[in-house]
Amino acid sequence: MSDGLENVVAAETVLSEVDGLAGRLVIRGRSLDDLAGRATFEDVVQLLFDGFYVDLPADVAPALGAARVDVFAQVAVLDAGLLALDPVEAMRALTARLPDGDDLSTALRLLAAPAVFIPAVVRAGQGLAPVAPDATVTHSADILRMLRGAAPTAEEARALDAYLVTVSDHGLNASTFAARVIASTRAGLTSAVLGGISALKGPLHGGAPGPVIEMLDAIGTPGHARAWLEQALDSGERLMGFGHRIYKVRDPRADALKGAVRRLTQGSNVAPGRLAFAEAVERAALDILRERKPDRSLQTNVEFYTALLLEALAFPPAAFTGVFAMGRVAGWLAHAREQLAGGRLIRPQSVYVGPAPRRAA
């Protein structure tokens, strides 16, 4: 038995390859270095969906825009009960209202759901009216528009595209595996995506970037980093944004996102010095992890610079996991269709280690 299914191969995929020793991510034959900062979210959807959705249009952007407008109707049911939840849970509840199915229109609604529901939940939580989608602008520009009520700059939309593309797919991570298991039962794409969201929200997976901001805020100044980090580890905590099951070298997504933060904040007055401060904390954390776990290779993962980028784009930390879902939903939907196309029901074995049956008296 392999604890945590480490090194177990559970699927063949044409969608992405995570090379943990070389620190390389390939998405459908394109390296992340080539995609991040160049491709839009619509481009990566086109790439991931190709061959899995037979009626996929040559340009998915208008259909995705129409799907954003379509799902916005669900926002009408946002009430105090839903707003009391964590934003990702409120988004999941709204997504659960969408019909199940396995066709392209179901997939487009699911692609649109986190992008429309997270900004609406954030605004409603701040006492502001949700902003309706605009089908004529790009997915990233519309997300920022719906969040702020005003059009973003081209650089901001490009930075969000870089993020969504970077996190769009990543092999058989926990949420994608959950989505594939559900798809394998033929439950439908909505069910698969709801399973993906539920797995993603855990702090060991997509729930880490909010706590990264809390950590940076608690540290406050570079000089305080070592003492704070030592104390966190002494009390048994994990450092959020570090370590990975597959990457034994630096997660290539960390550098893709660090580049996006640099491009976005250079020459602007958005939190000057924040990136340099984060780099100092990162250096201290890597030093301490190396000292304490010399036999492990604990490196910076995607979540560390996710936190910086989403903060610079003015997403509140409580919404970070929901923004992750906006990108990863493309991967879940492609994997679900790949599973349906060729895979059998996923049904592994367990080893019974409980007591032997007792003889009835």
Least gap, CB of 347 to ligand ACO (angstroms): 24
301 near ligand ACO (CB under 6 A): yes
Q: Which of 79, 114, 108, 83 is nearest to 96 (CA)?
A: 114
Residue that is written with structure tokens 């969000």 in the block: 160
49 near ligand ACO (CB under 6 A): no
User: Distance (Å, rounded) from C-alpha 28 to C-alpha 104?
Assistant: 19
208 near ligand ACO (CB under 6 A): yes
Q: Of 117 and 247, which CB lies nearer to ligand ACO in the complex structure?
A: 247
Q: Of 106 and 301, which CB lies nearer to ligand ACO in the complex structure?
A: 301
325 near ligand ACO (CB under 6 A): no
For ligand ACO, which stretch binds (CB under 6 A), given 68-76, 293-301, 332-340, 345-353? 293-301
Least gap, CB of 61 to ligand ACO (angstroms): 27
Q: Of 23 and 101, which CB lies nearer to ligand ACO in the complex structure?
A: 23
Name residues contacting ligand ACO, limited to 218-277 (CB under 6 A).
Answer: 238-245
User: Distance (Å, rounded) from C-alpha 259 to C-alpha 132?
Assistant: 31
Q: Of 106 and 306, which CB lies nearer to ligand ACO in the complex structure?
A: 306
The tokens of 257 are what?
A: 């996102």
Number of residues that bind ligand ACO (CB under 6 A): 19
Type of residue at 197: I
Instruction: Name the burial class of residue 239, with classes exposed (0-12), middle (13-18) and buried (19+) by CB atoms within 10 angstroms of its CB.
Output: buried
> CB–CB of 259/37 below 8 Å?
yes
Q: Of 148 and 245, which CB lies nearer to ligand ACO in the complex structure?
A: 245
322 near ligand ACO (CB under 6 A): no
For ligand ACO, which stretch binds (CB under 6 A), given 37-45, 101-109, 158-166, 205-213? 205-213
Q: Which of 186, 262, 290, 296 binds ligand ACO (CB under 6 A)?
A: 296
Least gap, CB of 23 to ligand ACO (angstroms): 14
Question: What one-character DSSP code corresponds to residue 142?
Answer: H
290 near ligand ACO (CB under 6 A): no
Catalytic residue annotation: 244, 303
Give the three-state DSSP class for 25. Answer: strand
The secondary structure of 38-95 as a DSSP string is TS-HHHHHHHHHTTTSTT--S--HHHHHHHHHHHGGGGGG--HHHHTS-HHHHHHHHH
Q: What share of the chain is helix, strand, coil (3-state, %, to 5)?
A: 60, 5, 40
> CB–CB of 190/100 below 8 Å?
yes
206 near ligand ACO (CB under 6 A): yes
The tokens of 235 are what?
A: 């009390």
Residue nearest to ligand ACO (CB): 243
Name residues contacting ligand ACO, limited to 19-48 (CB under 6 A).
Answer: none
Where do contacts with ligand ACO occur on this chain (CB under 6 A)? 4, 204-206, 208, 238-245, 293, 296, 298, 301-303
